[in-house]
Chains A and B, each alone.
Chain A
């Protein structure tokens, strides 16, 4: 492996990792407020992208560069579908199973609810879009920065020019969410619910509103991840699950509940995956297994994330 290849792998890995990071932040945020793992979270990304495409372009999308009006419509709808799908999946598939009438939460119930919500999204998309994968248009026109759409790197490698704006936008979105949680009134309410829902109620924090807001922000981030990732390669209806699991793996490389940890973990995971891809004797097949293997191992070893403190025995 040459230095040029390595640089190429790191750059594409960072752009992939920025997407994982956005997915992971949403996953982590939802968990921190509700202690629910959103099993449909990855499907929100593909759902946001493809439902918006269905609405704007129709059932036979082509990857031609859309005009200004369509671009705006695609951006707005992708984000909106992310938010709506996230909030609806919470209301329909998760909320009914949380602590019903003092019987405690129903883990089997919300796990099944989450996977069902994901399956419903995939199935609805699959009926409308029967092919294995679709190339979708890029409303952000990231490929237009150079005429060829690629950039030659020192050392001989080359990367699609879109990796740079993807990394930049991904980091900006993550920073914006971080600011929102720290500075805004609603963000502070959300953090207080994450710290201690009972105390938050006693302090007059509208817990239900904060939880819905967490799902909405997670959906917005999923929409943003869709805008960044979907145009890079053909999108299959079922791709969302693995993307969601990769986001979860990234979040677990940090600490569940920490947005910065989720971003850092996602970036690390993306880079690791791309390095495995260019590594001699490994290659593309092994690289696709990286996020899933990391997820399974990390959940089993440290369910709260690698950087989570070891649990103290409490009742």
Chain B
């Protein structure tokens, strides 16, 4: 009974870690540290006379706060640095526990009377926390966590997590608030870790440093890797394997005459190796069966649900996007030297110029990922600042990247849905989805409608369920356009979409970009293919060495002698 309860509490911690590792794709190697905070925090607070439940709550909140602080740093870190930082944290906490007996009770650990009891004369409560009570509490927690994870993964949070996991660099460009989500995920993971630790401490009555060594962090990491990506049953399977580990290890240890703790380490290592070797194939084998009932029915798009929020604006307003006298410097290089570009609703505006003339830089300034040192950027007349793409997307400016960028192997429909998520300005979407609030249901319908509309516009509807691997180059580019359109942006920035496309694919692309503009959006296009530009652009801005050479209709620009000089290298008077 006690062992079962302990395993259930470990599973609570594992679910916390799974949120970070297998849902948000963050390699966290220090969950054991947060479990330790919960366990030692509860024991210490109780030792100082704090009532049991308050002690648990304070320890959990403290760990959650610590996780949030880690998240503050981690939000900016690449995965590898986060792994190093959390692995360092696991060892730091363990070393501190070993070296400071006042904190940890030394190698004997801290003790408390067991079984614990909850007594409140005013409420008439007097419960003795027998092991079976812990089993009930643990089971309730685990079931609740699994349900919440499954439900949340199907909602807006699931979309955000998918973006974090599969394309953190890209997520920003389609409006996912990467840093905020990472902080929240790490805080939740840490709090759940501490909850598991607190439960174990109360259950066992002893908290000793040796049980919270970095090996625990590794074991939890193995446990959540077992199930692969975003699988609610993964942690349960992992902890099940880990639960079988001590008895197996002890049997081996007594048979082989080695230290039981070493035997456990051996088995953990074997398990880790096996998980690494098998995780992809195992996930492929099991997931289809377990996820079948989760797969949503074909959507029923409501064509008018997203009306008014699909990025179209009446003509004649302030320009969608205006760069004024923008100067950008990369070190000593002046990439843009006083550039003006204006994008109006309903037009395709092409930026052309020789390599290195500053086209892509201008696009990045417009998208908010490069900050100008001088000059201003206005979106619909409002000045905007900052170098984060996500707020710019919500302001109505979305772009595609020059290289082909995919959100991992997410199906096409889901990738576009991640983009559609950006148009929701409503707060607490994830929480409202959890409780199935009517507003969340409506938002979900709008999202489905926006996804369907974007897919329709780009001609990808047939490809709804396809994984990106099977798309050709042109379709992958169009998928990027669809994602940008789905964000509800009125200004769509497209960086060299036709590179590597065949003539027929270019025709299709030209038609789609033209349709985008005709629907009332503005398309800012960087493109080398002058044929394509001449066919679809309403206006062309020619850049050379970071300055605007000419702006006007394609015909006017083509006739401009300065352009001919810069572009073709012929003297103007020849």
Contacts and interface: CB of A to CB of B under 8 A. Distances in A.
Given A111-B29, A285-B100, A313 B91 contact: no
B387 interface: yes
B80 A111 contact: yes
A262 B74 CA distance: 23
Interface centre among A107, A241, A285, A288 (most CB of B within 10 A): A107
Nearest to A100: B280
Contact of A116 (B92, B214, B269): B269
B557 interface: no
Given A107-B80, A303-B81, A295 B269 contact: no
A299 B84 contact: yes
Contacts of A296: 85, 88-89, 92
A119 B90 CA distance: 15
Interface stretch (A31-39, A159-167, A198-206): A31-39
B514 to A, nearest CB: 27
Interface string A280-315: 000001001100110110011101000000001101
A300 B83 contact: no
A116 to B, nearest CB: 4
Nearest to A241: B91
A119 B99 contact: no
A241 B80 contact: no
Contacts of A122: 265
Contact of A288 (B70, B99, B262, B265): B99
B272 interface: yes
Contacts of B85: 295-296, 299-300
Interface string B83-108: 11101110110011001100000000
B265 A37 contact: no
B83 A292 contact: no
B83 A130 contact: no
Given A115-B29, A120-B269, A299-B81, A245 B87 contact: yes
B276 interface: yes
Nearest to B166: A104
B276 A315 contact: no
Nearest to B330: A312
A126 interface: yes
Contacts of B369: 313
Nearest to A125: B262
Interface string B366-402: 0001100000000000000001000000000000011
Contacts of B88: 245, 248-249, 292, 295-296, 299
A123 interface: yes
B91 A130 contact: no
Contacts of A113: 276
Contacts of A108: 21, 25, 27, 79, 225
B530 interface: no
B26 to A, nearest CB: 9
Contacts of A64: none
A301 B265 CA distance: 33
A299 B77 contact: yes
Interface string A101-123: 00110011101110110011011
Contacts of B364: 313
Contacts, number: 123
A112 B99 contact: no
A116 B276 contact: yes
A315 B403 contact: yes
B273 interface: yes
B170 to A, nearest CB: 10
A119 B402 CA distance: 42
Which of the four size classes fits the interface of chain A?
A: 35 or more
A1 interface: no
Given A113-B276, A130-B258, A37 B73 contact: no
B87 A115 contact: yes
Contacts of A37: 80-81, 83-84
A84 interface: no
B259 interface: yes
Interface centre among A120, A296, A312 (most CB of B within 10 A): A296
Contacts of B136: none
A295 B214 CA distance: 16
A108 B221 CA distance: 10
Interface in A71-88: none
Interface string A124-137: 00110010000000
Contacts of B78: 107, 303
A120 B267 CA distance: 10
Contacts of B370: 313
Nearest to A299: B85
A289 B92 CA distance: 7
Contacts of A36: 80
Given A111-B29, A296-B89, A301-B73, A116 B273 contact: yes
B266 interface: yes
A292 B91 contact: yes
A242 interface: yes
B178 to A, nearest CB: 14
A39 B87 CA distance: 9
Given A123-B265, A126-B265, A248-B84, A292 B276 contact: no
A96 to B, nearest CB: 8
B110 interface: no
B81 A289 contact: no
Contacts of B401: 315
A126 B276 contact: no
Contacts of B27: 107-108, 111-112
A39 B269 contact: no
A247 to B, nearest CB: 12
B218 interface: yes
B144 to A, nearest CB: 26
A278 B272 CA distance: 41
A116 B91 contact: no
Contacts of B87: 39, 115, 245
A119 B91 contact: no
Interface string B344-366: 00000000000000000000100
B268 interface: yes
B92 A111 contact: no
Contacts of B169: 315
A295 B29 CA distance: 14
A241 B79 contact: no
B32 to A, nearest CB: 12
Given A296-B89, A299-B77, A300-B77, A39 B83 contact: yes
Contacts of B92: 289, 292-293, 295-296
Contacts of B268: 119
Contact of A289 (B99, B273, B402): B99
Nearest to A131: B259
B262 A112 contact: no
Nearest to B262: A126
A127 B265 CA distance: 10
Contacts of B77: 299-300, 303
Interface centre among B91, B218, B221, B275 (most CB of A within 10 A): B91
Interface centre among A248, A289, A315 (most CB of B within 10 A): A315
5 contacts: A39-B87, A108-B21, A111-B29, A245-B87, A289-B96
Listed from nearest, the 5 A-B pairs whose CB atoms lie closest are A300-B73, A107-B79, A303-B81, A285-B99, A292-B92
Interface of B: 21, 25, 27, 29, 70, 73-74, 76-81, 83-85, 87-89, 91-92, 95-96, 99-100, 169, 214, 218, 221-222, 225, 258-259, 262, 265-266, 268-269, 272-273, 275-276, 330, 364, 369-370, 387, 401-403, 408-409
Given A37-B83, A108-B25, A299-B77, 13 more contacts: A108-B225, A111-B79, A115-B218, A123-B265, A289-B96, A289-B99, A292-B95, A296-B88, A299-B81, A299-B85, A303-B77, A303-B81, A313-B364
